[in-house]
Structure formats: C-alpha cells, structure tokens
A and B are shown apart, each in its own frame.
Chain A
Amino acid sequence: MSRRPPRGEYIETDTGNKVARKATLVGTQNIMLGGKTVIQPDVMIRGDLARTIPPAQSASGGPANNTAVAIGRYCFLSRGCCLRPPGRMYKGVFTFMPLRLGDHVFVGPGTVVQAAQIGNHVHIGGKVVIGEFAIIKDYVKVLDGSVVPPNMVIPSFSIVAGQPARIIGEIPEGGIEAFELRDLYKTVGNNPQPTAP
C-alpha cells in the first residue's frame, strides 16, 4: 500500500530545504527556513529559546511572530554546528532575542553561532564561536577556530580570525563569487549531484 520512497538521509521540503534526519532541531515551530537550505547531520538548532519579551511594535497587529531562528536561502549548516538565539538581561528581565541568518551563509563544522544577525554571503569556518549579539554584515569570512566576541560588529568584506577575532584582511573584489552556495546545495541531499569541474 505504502508508496513511500525509501527513506533518504535527508528530509527534502517543498521549498527545497534539505534537513538531515540526524539533525537536532528543537522548537521547530520557531525555526524559519527560507528555502534551499541544507542542514547536515548532527546540526543543532535551538528554536525553543524564543524571546519572552514581545518586540516593541508587536501590538501593531498581525500574528505574534515568535521566530527564534530565521535562516535565509541557500544556507549550509555543516555537521555538528549549533545555532542558538542570544540571550540577555533587558530591563531587569532575561530574554532571548532572535538569531537571523541571511542568504548564502555557510556555517562550518562544530561551530556555535549565537549572533544577533548574520548577513548575506557569509562564510564561517569550522570550530568557530560567534558570541552573543554579534552582527556580521555581508561578504564576511570568519576563519577556522576564531572566537568572535559578544557584541562585535564585523563590516562587509572583512576577513576575521583570532581569539578574540579581529579584522585581518579584506575580501578582494574577485572573491565575492566564491560565497555563492548554489553549487554546494546541489552536492548534498538524497540525490546529490557531482560537483561541476
């Protein structure tokens, strides 16, 4: 009776997201995926840590948006990385705030991201720690093993490294195409395609 296809390693959604069955997603109702995002096995996303204080202009109608982690299109979350919303004391009360990732964000293996905002076309290496409420703008590369301290702002076209991270270089004009993750998206999933030469 069941015409279920054989279970693949990934759950592939209508919007093209590829979510590994071995990924740990807590509080899925608060996790928004923009589409065509890859979540590899052993990735952990803490959607359950939603904000407890409603945003300032939530009274202006519309359903209460309780998104804890918002991820754009063509993001790639490598094995073992962890996304969790940042938390802080606000007017004497502790609250979590949403974590937002733009499009084409690569998160390396074993990396922990607690940023407030990651822009578009950002490459975060492996074993990186992005501190709470950090803001990373577009076209930024965070090298492996970096510790981006809490509240740090990283401007566009920066290359950062170190503990704590500092800007150590600039992305050259010719280097911005390499942030594109469309090709990488195709190489994973239940029907992975070989990489073009």
Chain B
Amino acid sequence: MFGNNRLPAFHPGLTQSRIRDTTTGSGLWFPGLRSPPLPSESDPANDQLPLPITPEDLYDTPMAPFNPYTYIRCPCSELNPYTKRTPDVTAQGLSRAAQDDDDHTFDPRAARSNYSLYPLEYLSFCEDCHQIRCPRCVAEEIVCYYCPNCLFEVPSSNIRSEGSRCTRSCFQCPICIGPLAVNHVETPPDPNQLLSPDHASSSHSGSYVLSCSYCNWSSTEIGIKFDKPNSIHMQLAKLRNGGETRLTAKERKERRKEQASQGGGGGSSTGQGEEDLDTLLDMETQFANLKSFYQNQLSDANGTGKVGGDPSAALGNLGFDAPASLSRIMSLYTGSSSLHDKKSKSRPGTMREALAPSEGLQLASLDESSAITALQDFESTTGLDAYSSTASTTQLQSQAPYLGASPLHGLTRFTSSLRPIPYLLRTKRSKRCPQCRHIISKPESKVTTTRFRIRLIAGNYIPTITIKQLIIPGLTPPPMPNLPPDTIEPLKPAQFVLTFKNPIFESVRVTLATPATTPGRFPAKVTILCPQFEIDSNTDVWEEALKDNNATSSSSQAQNLSSSTGPEGSGPGGRKRAGTLRPGTAGGASLAGEELGPEVGKVWERGRNWTSIVIEVIPASLVQTAKRDGRGPIKEDEDVLEIPMFVRIEWEAEAPEDEIMPGLSSTKGGNKDGGKEKRELAYWCVLGLGRVARTL
C-alpha cells in the first residue's frame, strides 16, 4: 500500500517517501499522496538515519480509513505545453477540444502521471498565461540563504567562500542528527552534598563541549572540547578528533617553508630516501603538498618556454580555456597525430608523480589490524556488541565533506571519528512562470517574516473539489458485513458527492467529462449525474466574517440552524438541496421519508459559493479480473479507485485595461457590456474515491 506514491518530484525528501498524515480535523493535508493518510508518519527517503517508525508502533490498527483526494494535472506534462493553446471558446472550438480529449484520455495510472499530478495546494497560477503551474515546471530563484537553527541570514558571497553550511555555532549530532548545544563542562559534585549551595558551577572555569540532548552524545566522545562557547565552527576547524590541533592554511604554509629551507632543495626535488613513506598526512596537508608539487613542476616546465613562471598562473592554466590545456585535450582525442607531434615536444615534458609525503604521496594503508583490535577492545571493555562502535552508512553520509579530516585511505569506520555536522543552510525562493517569466511567488526576503510579496496560488483561481461517499439511509443498500469501513463494493453502484467550491468573485460555469470506463487494469463504469452546473460567486470575506460572529454570539444558534435560516443559500448555514426536496418542504429539515436519491441532470446541493453533484461508479471485481487477465496478483494501490475527470470552467471577468495578448485562453465577449470578457480554463484531474473491496 505504500507503493506507487505519486509525489511531487521537486523535493528529494518527498520522492518515494512514505509520509503519512492524519487529517486531524483541521483539514490540513500533506503530500503523502496516493495512499490514504495513515495515522502515523514514516521514514522520509532522504533521512540520514534510520527512522524505523511503523504505524503499528503507534496505533493498533494497521489500516487507517481512506481519505479521498483530488489531484490536478499541470499542463506542463503535455507534449508541447507551451505551443499548444486551449482552443477558443466557440462552439466549434469546444467540439474540437472535446474530440481531442476523446482521443487521449488521461490515464492516472500511467507512469508519466506520477510527475504531473499535484494536490491543489502545490499548484501556482500564472495570471498572465492564465494557466496552472506546478512545482516541477516553475523556475526557482533563491531569495536568501539562512541557517535553520540560528535563523541568521547568510549573504550569498559567504556561500561562495564558506560553503553552504552555517559557520556560527550550529551543529547537528553525528549520531542521531539532533541539534547540538554548547554546554559548560562542570566538575562532578560531591555526591554527599548534592543540595548544598554551590556557586562553582556558575563560574565558567573549564571548557565547553557540544552535546546532544536527545541521544546524549557529547564531543568529549571524540576528544574535543572548546575554550569559549561562541564561534564553535572556527574552533572546531582547528581541532582534530582527539583534541589535537589542526594547522590552519597559513600555519601549514609556514611549516612547508621551514621544511623546504631545511631540506635545501625545492619541492620539485626527487623524493628523498630518508623520508618515511608511512608518514600520515591529513587531507589538507596532502592536498597542499600535491598542489605545490604540481605547481612547481608546471612552473619549471613553463619557465623554460614562457615568461614568468608564476605558480598560481600555472595552476590557472589548468583551466580548459588555457592554450596548454587545450592542446593537451586535443591530443587526447586526436592521438599522436602528425599534426601535434611537433607541438608535443615543446609541451612540458613528462610530469613526474609524487614520490614522497612532502610531495603529497600517501601510501594506502591496507593493514586493517588496528581496526580489528579496536573492535575487539571495544567489546572487551564495554561488553557491548562492537557493531555499535562503528558508524552507519547514513551517519557517514550526513557528515559534512572535508570536515571529517580522517585518514584518506580507508573510510572512517568508527563513530569516534565522526565530526559534528554544521547545519546545512536553507533557502527562501521565488518562483517564475516558465513561459512568460513573470514572478508567480515571491516571499519577503527577511528570514523571520512569513509574508509573501507575490503569491499566485491555484487555489485562488480554480474550484476545490471535495469528495464524500453518499449514503442515504433507506436508499443506499447496507454495506456487506465484514467489509472494512470506507471500502467500495465491486460490481455494485456507489455514489459520491463532489463538492465544488468557487474561490473567485464571479459565478463560474463548470463542465465535467469523464471516460465511461476508467482506463487501467480494473475498469470502473463512471456516470456523472450532472455534468454541467454553475457555482455562485465567492462573496466578500468581511461579509462572511461578520455573519459568523453574529452567529456565534447568538445563543439560539442551534435553533437557528435546525429551523429555516430565511432565504435559502444566503447565510453560511443556508443550503438548498435540489434533488431531495419536494415542493412544499420548507428549509433544510426534510424528513427521512422524503429523502430521494440523486436525479440525473440536477445538482445535489448548493450553497453560497459551492455546488455539489453526484457521480456514480460501478467498480470492476478485482479478484475476478485478476484471475482472468493473467497479469498476476493485485498490486499495491491497484485497489484504489481513481477516476480521471476533465474539468472546464468558464466565467466572465473584468477585462484588463491593456489589450489582451493574442493567443491567450480568453476571448473578448461578443457583447462587451461593462468591459467583461469570457475566460475559461480546462484541466484534467484525478479523483481518488476509495479502495475497492477484494471480494467476489
């Protein structure tokens, strides 16, 4: 049931994720997508550490009720999304569009659909193109970088020089990735005087450690303590695991000079025999040694042929635009062709390899005996499985590059060589329409503000669709016994109420279309009882708020609700059920005996800015079909009944001041009364109605 998650592919943490969420009353939704939200979260795919939470840990019921969903397809997944325009709203155009749609019915089960379907919350809307935009097709621009822990903004110039991690004192635990806090090391108190007032602890005499208050890891475990509680990043950069100081770049340079002067010869001299080849170099020293070794070689070679053998310039010549490099690369492709024979002689001669640690040579240490002894020691001293002293792959992966400063050869294997992880910076980003380049979303640049300068979201332009199974007491046949709740019985008609809520201030005409049978392995018959209807405009928000306040303050609200609320469809509680009311029945308090089933061609219910209609589905029998078609057993999530539906909405909008761009999906109305123009928007969506029972 976790498979086939249709996830927005825009965030690595969400792809293949099995995140679940309960819609706990607030209607808040998270893209667990596809599968029903389980009352538990689960491991995200990009987690750095095992997160083996299972729903069973938290709840006794392994299967939660299915939450119906609506996903909308972004037009960017069409073959030529930016050249194909929705045809004009003429009768001819409509029929042509209808034909087009008949030709390629959207299949929500197609592999491609995984990348084009989004819940409404994830979609933007370009006001200039009058089109839906999704996280996959918009262009993002970084507004600012900030540390998620200290919430300080980091200027982009720092990103270039310091990398994309926080350089203050924000670190994550290398063991569990929880936040690390800087703590003062206190001397253990006299156990007999636990309650005696002592002020020694308040005087900061000793040093500081980073410690994790979740898993109780402390930087003392890797032998690191700090002298002061701030700028830990800088202090840590100078410390090696075990507390040994690490040379800064400047110190290293000076030390090299010393060595060079002592050795008499330059760095380019051949490896001295007296140098110990087993000398251990740390990563930075080795890199520095190698760099200067090759720089010297290049400058020596170039010095003969070129003017001014500046080492740094020589290194710069390694760029692909440098003539020397170009000729080298060319010769790679052309081989030893006669064309380059002459030139190759003038090239720097054969480059020598590093032969000594001072030149950056580091012999691979293949002797693992020390690691094995360490494992055995751990087991004998702690009595624990030695496995717990080794770092897991996820722990190693979450290590910041170059901060490990471990021996180069052989990956670090023990948790004792892990380093605190400086927090990765996060970003605030604005979004642009891929076609017209207009900005469709732009947050305020300040880190701590949550306002947006521009926020064009699809939810403000297209209706939301909510789904609810229709059960009328007395009319709907009782469900089969032993059937899990909220499952749909195969081969039996089931009815669902689709409620369309209009966000815009114009009334909207909706036309729905769906294939008679759903595509895919288990075709269901689908009938939309009322494929064409109107939704009234969204009235003023303040009007609504005022009404609500009056309603809550009045004590007789309950009575108001149960009796008629005056003119139908006026208040928030006022609603009109067209299909069920017989003439003469007043208000919404219809008796159970008078309930009628939904009628073809009539809306089911309607309110201030919403209209609901009924669709009827007859699912195929999963078990029988699976037996017949020979395509193996029912796969995960194949029992979810999904219906592709084509939605076309039309409305009249205030015509903009400037001339409308040709080719937009809007045309000027024939009779231009009050500068109104006709608009339309059409898109595919998929309705996830429920799970079909695996009965015969």
Contacts and interface: CB of A to CB of B under 8 A. Distances in A.
A125 B41 contact: yes
A167 B29 CA distance: 17
Nearest to A180: B26
Interface in B626-653: none
A152 interface: yes
Given A131-B214, A157-B450, A166 B24 contact: no
Given A155-B426, A168-B13, A92 B26 contact: no
Interface string B187-206: 00000000001110110000
B149 interface: yes
Given A125-B41, A170-B11, A178 B28 contact: yes
B53 A191 contact: no
B14 A169 contact: yes
Interface in B537-570: 548, 551-552, 555, 557-558, 561
Interface in A128-178: 131-132, 137-139, 141, 143-147, 149-159, 161-164, 166-170, 172-178
Interface stretch (B175-183, B358-366, B683-691): B175-183
Contacts of B29: 175, 178
A178 B426 CA distance: 23
A162 B25 CA distance: 22
A186 B552 contact: yes
Contacts of A197: 466, 499, 501, 605, 607, 610, 612
Contacts of B14: 168-169
Interface string A177-197: 111011110110001011011
Contact of B557 (A138, A150, A193): A193
A131 to B, nearest CB: 7
A10 interface: no
Contact of A174 (B39, B41, B121): B121
Contacts of B455: 173
Interface in B131-151: 135, 146, 148-151
Contacts of B447: 155
A177 B459 contact: yes
Contacts of A163: 51, 53
A153 B179 contact: yes
A58 B178 CA distance: 34
A127 interface: yes
Interface residues of B, number: 81
Contacts of B40: 127, 144-145
Given A144-B41, A155-B151, A173-B124, A106 B561 contact: no
A123 B53 contact: no
B122 A174 contact: yes
B179 A172 contact: no
B43 interface: yes
B573 interface: yes
Given A152-B179, A178-B28, A193-B561, A126 B22 contact: yes
A125 B48 CA distance: 22
A73 to B, nearest CB: 13
A144 B124 contact: no
Interface string A86-107: 0000011000000000000010
Contacts of B13: 167-169
B236 interface: no
A182 B58 CA distance: 29
> Which DSSP category, helix, strand, loop or mixed, fits chain A's interface?
loop
A145 B457 contact: no
Given A145-B40, A168-B14, A197-B499, A181 B26 contact: yes
B178 A193 contact: no
A67 interface: no
A106 B26 contact: yes
Nearest to A153: B149
Contacts of A173: 124, 431, 441, 452, 455, 457
A26 B441 CA distance: 45
Contact of A172 (B58, B122, B198): B122
Given A92-B201, A108-B24, A153-B148, A174 B47 contact: no
Nearest to B559: A191
Given A143-B19, A146-B41, A164 B177 contact: yes
B24 A125 contact: yes
A172 B135 contact: yes
Contacts of B53: 145, 162-163
Contacts of A92: 197-199, 201-202
Given A149-B179, A161-B41, A174-B121, A193 B573 contact: yes
Interface string B105-126: 0000000000000001111100
B30 A149 contact: no
B25 A76 contact: yes
B499 A127 contact: no
Contacts of A108: 22, 24
Contacts of A78: 24-25
A27 interface: no
Contact of B58 (A106, A145, A155, A179): A145
A164 B123 contact: no
B21 interface: yes
A141 B213 contact: no
Interface string B149-183: 11100000000000000000000000011110100
A12 B525 CA distance: 50
B27 interface: yes
A187 B27 CA distance: 13
B298 interface: no
A143 B51 CA distance: 13
B448 interface: yes
A114 B594 CA distance: 53
B561 A164 contact: no
Contacts of B197: 92
Interface in B1-33: 11, 13-14, 17, 19-22, 24-31
A149 B122 contact: no
A41 interface: no
A143 B14 CA distance: 14
B458 interface: yes
Given A143-B19, A173-B124, A193-B573, A137 B448 contact: yes
14 contacts: A127-B58, A146-B41, A150-B214, A152-B179, A164-B176, A164-B177, A167-B13, A172-B122, A174-B121, A178-B29, A182-B548, A191-B558, A193-B551, A193-B573
Given A143-B20, A172-B121, A181-B26, 11 more contacts: A143-B21, A144-B58, A149-B213, A152-B179, A154-B148, A159-B19, A162-B43, A167-B426, A175-B28, A187-B25, A196-B572
Interface of A: 16, 76, 78, 91-92, 106, 108-109, 123, 125-127, 131-132, 137-139, 141, 143-147, 149-159, 161-164, 166-170, 172-179, 181-184, 186-187, 191, 193-194, 196-197
Pairs of residues from A and B, 7 with the lowest C-beta to C-beta distance, nearest first: A143-B41, A149-B214, A174-B457, A174-B121, A161-B41, A168-B44, A149-B178
Interface of B: 11, 13-14, 17, 19-22, 24-31, 39-44, 46-48, 51, 53, 57-58, 120-124, 135, 146, 148-151, 176-179, 181, 197-199, 201-202, 212-215, 426, 431, 441, 447-448, 450, 452, 455, 457-459, 466, 499, 501, 548, 551-552, 555, 557-558, 561, 572-573, 605, 607, 610, 612
